[in-house]
Amino acid sequence: MNLDLIKGSRSKILAAAVLLIAGIFVVRLFYLQVIQHEHYVALAQEEQQDISTIPASRGLIYAKDGTAPVQLVMNQKVYTVVADPKVIKEAQKAQLIASLREIAGGNVRTGFEALLDQEGSRYAILATKLSRLQAEKLKEKEFYGVVYQATTQRVYPEGALAGQVLGFVNAAGQGNYGVEGYLNEELKGIDGSLKTVTDVSKVPLTIGEDNVRIPAQDGKNVVLSLDRNVQAKVEGALAAGLQRTGATYGSAVVMDPKTGKVMAMANLPTYNPAEYNKVEDAAIFNNGAISAPYEPGSVLKTYTLAAGIDKGVVKASDTYNNTDSIMIGDNYIVGNATKGQTGIITFQHALTWSLNTGFVTIAQRLGDGNSVNRTARDAMYDYFHDKFRLGEPTGIELSNESAGSVISPDEEQGNAVRYATMSFGQGLNTTVLQVAAGFSAIVNGGDYYKPTIIDGYMTNEGFKQNATPSPVQKGVISKSTSDQVVQATHEARASSFGRTDKPGYYIGGKTGTAQVGVPGGYSDTETIASYLGYGGGDQMEYVIMVELSGKDKVLGGAQDALPVFTDISNWMIDYLKIQPKG
């Protein structure tokens, strides 16, 4: 088409104007579509695409029921009812309130009715932690301006059982204390993400080239070595012990001396992890068996005896002259709590009657025989700290484990007086678990196992048990030493308390009544009661450590802690179906 326009005519001007405008359009479109391409593509994607998180499911925690895993911590989807008071119609309010009272029951917030009248607010939480069924019933009512937000919470079918071992998960989804805290990274998993074009209702569509789906990696399902039946028994026995003695704090550990696996770990007072937000004293979150070091007292005489026998300086049948007191250095006298067993007596007798003088004598014999000299102190430190691992975290898979302390002979405080008192369990700080783990090595033939509370993992294929633990240090004492200490502790128990044991079984142990350190010395009004023992038939099946204490409570190992041990021990024999020795 060829238009002949007269030069300077209005048509020519119009054509020029149209061309100019078209040119501007072309330039503008070039700018928008070519130069600004990336910018507008990004804006369009922002509008069309949705990036959502695919939440990872937190791993479950199992305990054992005999050999079968049972769920101890589970996940449940719960709903929060949120309303927008500004859009809720007046006529609907009464019906909404009535429905919430009827269906949500105790899950409604106190005074939720008043929240609906606050029309200045656009967000009012009316009820929390509704079950799926409750939420579905409310959804059926189709209240306008009410939404249901789903969240996941931890549930505990066994209630407060093993609460301090488990720990809890806070509102932000982070594990705190116990297994939840220690294994938080393993349990929480890794969230996935979904980047996709969506419709107005946020339904993901497959159109588009940039859709990306990264699946979530759920947390691992952990199977603990805790046996729920043993745990329940230990918690019950401990509670009964506290009630009987008037003690206000108690800890107990039951472990398998052949593997280091913890079968039960209990503390009182405790809490229900499902109601962690109701706990007033945060100290209750701590697992006292691993986080509250104390001077264990006479239960450690078993350690001193093991060190003396293993070093070849004493046997349980060896004798010494007991005068009910012994001088350390120039001005420090150690006396016996039980008086009158004087004269030439055996170390077995000293163990049975828990005579401090006998164990200070063993400490002296680890040196030159007359004093707890540097050689003696080095030997004791080697056994107590390096071999039986007192004063070091055991490495159990639980949060907030304390190290305790065993002062080295290299330090000024590591003098003869300290090591003399250490021979009967004073002057050092250890946790209940450390003492139980070291004692396990003493009675199992001399191999130290790291205490563990993880028995394996639950996978889609079923329970995958960890390999049988190997000792972290073999032969910390000789088999012969182990046998002699087992025999000595069995005799010590049998001579005084054996009548309370089931006949035909090999039970042994040692009492402990520890003084409590106060500024400038020891308290006269408070002692801590302990009992450390083992049991089994032809082989060791369990080690139990019990500790009871209370503010301004004078508690004794024999009268207060020992009955708790006996209660648990006799029950364990039946539960583990242990056959009588021989």
The 10 Å CB-count burial string (b at 16+, else e) for 440-449 is bbbbbbbbbb
Nearer to other proteins, 70 or 558 (CB): 70
36-61 in b/e form (b: 16+ CB < 10 A) is: eeeeeeeeeeeeebbeeeeebebbbb
Question: 204: which 2 tokens?
Answer: 């993901």
Q: Considering beta carbons, is residue 131 or 217 the nearer one to other proteins?
A: 131
| Sole binder of other proteins in the list 147, 205, 214, 518 (CB under 8 A) | 205
Binding mask 26-45 for other proteins (x = CB under 8 A): --------------------
Indicate which single residue of 45, 50, 74, 318 sits in contact with other proteins (rule: CB under 8 A): 74
Q: Which of 178, 176, 181 is nearest to 162 (CA)?
A: 178
Q: Toward other proteins, which CB reaches closer, 79 or 347?
A: 79
Nearer to other proteins, 185 or 275 (CB): 275
- Near other proteins in 516-575, by CB under 8 A: 574
What's the alpha-carbon Rg for the chain, to the nearest Å?
35
The Cβ of residue 171 has, within 10 Å, a number of other Cβ atoms equal to: 8
∠218-454-457 over CA atoms, to 5°? Answer: 35
Q: Which is nearer to other proteins, 237 or 363 (CB)?
A: 237
Q: Binding residue for other proteins (CB under 8 A) from 45, 48, 75, 92?
A: 75
- Closest contact distance (angstroms) between CB of 266 and other proteins is 14
- Min CB(155)–other proteins separation in Å: 6
Nearer to other proteins, 225 or 245 (CB): 225
Per CB under 8 A, the list member of 22, 369, 580, 581 interacting with other proteins is 580
Q: Which of 132, 464, 474, 581 forms a contact with other proteins (CB under 8 A)?
A: 132
Q: For other proteins, which is the closer residue by CB, 75 or 286?
A: 75
Does residue number 279 form part of the binding site for other proteins (CB under 8 A)?
no
Residue from 131, 151, 325, 400 binding other proteins (CB under 8 A): 131
Tokens of 60: 């479950």
- What is the Cβ-side half-sphere exposure of residue 381, based on CA atoms within 13 angstroms? 19
Burial of 309 (0-12, 13-18, 19+ CB in 10 A): buried
Site string for other proteins, 158-177 (x = CB under 8 A): xx-x----------------
Residue 500 is a binding residue for other proteins (CB under 8 A): no
Helices (H) and strands (E) in the chain, counts: 18, 22
In the complex, the smallest distance separating the C-beta of residue 344 from other proteins, rounded to whole angstroms, is 44
2 binds other proteins (CB under 8 A): no
Contact between residue 379 and residue 304 where contact means Cβ atoms under 8 Å apart: no
Q: In whole angstroms, give the CA distance from residue 257 to residue 270.
A: 26
Choose the stretch contacting other proteins; rule: CB under 8 A; options: 35-43, 150-158, 170-178, 543-551.
150-158
Given a contact cutoff of 8 angstroms between Cβ atoms, the answer to whether 50 and 196 are in contact is yes
Nearer to other proteins, 441 or 458 (CB): 458
Q: Which residues in 386-417 are b (16+ Cβ under 10 Å) and which e?
A: ebbbbbbebebbbbbbbebbbbebeeeebbbb
Q: For residue 536, which amino acid is it? A: G
* CB neighbour class for 524 (10 Å; exposed up to 12, middle 13-18, buried from 19): exposed
CA distance 116 to 126: 8
Q: Which is nearest to 491 in space by CA: 533, 529, 528?
A: 533
Q: Is the peptide bond before 580 cis (omega within 30 degrees of 0)?
A: no
Q: Per-residue x/- marks for other proteins, 180-199, CB under 8 A?
A: -------------------x
Residue 272 sits in the site that holds other proteins (CB under 8 A): no
Q: Is the Cβ of residue 201 or residue 370 nearer to other proteins in the bound state?
A: 201
> CB 69 → other proteins: shortest distance, Å?
12
* Interface positions, 237-266, toward other proteins (CB under 8 A): none
- 76-to-131, 163, 244 alpha-carbon distances in Å: 8, 18, 39
Beta carbon of residue 544, minimum distance to other proteins (angstroms, whole number): 20
Among 155, 214, 327, 518, binds other proteins (CB under 8 A): 155
Q: Nearest approach, Cβ of 68 to other proteins (angstroms)?
A: 11
Euclidean distance between CA atoms 241 and 227, whole angstroms: 21
Q: Pick the piece of the chain touching other proteins (CB under 8 A) from 139-147, 155-163, 252-260, 282-290.
A: 155-163
**Smallest separation, CB 220 to other proteins (Å):** 18
Least gap, CB of 577 to other proteins (angstroms): 8
Please state the closest distance from residue 414 (CB atom) to other proteins, in A: 47
| Whole-angstrom distance, CA of residue 324 vs CA of residue 355 | 8
Nearest CB to other proteins, comparing residues 132 and 244? 132
Looking at the Cβ atoms of 158 and 378, the one nearer to other proteins is: 158
Report in angstroms how near the CB of residue 457 gets to other proteins at its nearest. 18
* Distance from C-alpha of 391 to C-alpha of 405, rounded to nearest angstrom: 4
- Applying CB under 8 A, among 17, 98, 147, 203 the residue interacting with other proteins is 203
Between residues 63 and 441, which has the closer beta carbon with respect to other proteins?
63
8 Å CB contact between 137 and 96: no
Cα angle vertex 537, ends 532, 542, to 5°?
35
User: What is the nearest approach in angstroms of other proteins to the Cβ of residue 579?
Assistant: 5
Position among 145, 204, 498, 517 found at the interface with other proteins (CB under 8 A): 204
Distance of alpha carbon 5 from alpha carbon 197, whole angstroms: 52
Q: Which residue's CB is nearer to other proteins, number 204 or number 475?
A: 204
Contact set for other proteins, span 213-242 (CB under 8 A): 228-229, 232
Please give the residue ranges that form the binding site for other proteins (CB under 8 A): 70-71, 74-77, 131-133, 155, 157-159, 161, 199, 203-207, 228-229, 232, 574, 579-580
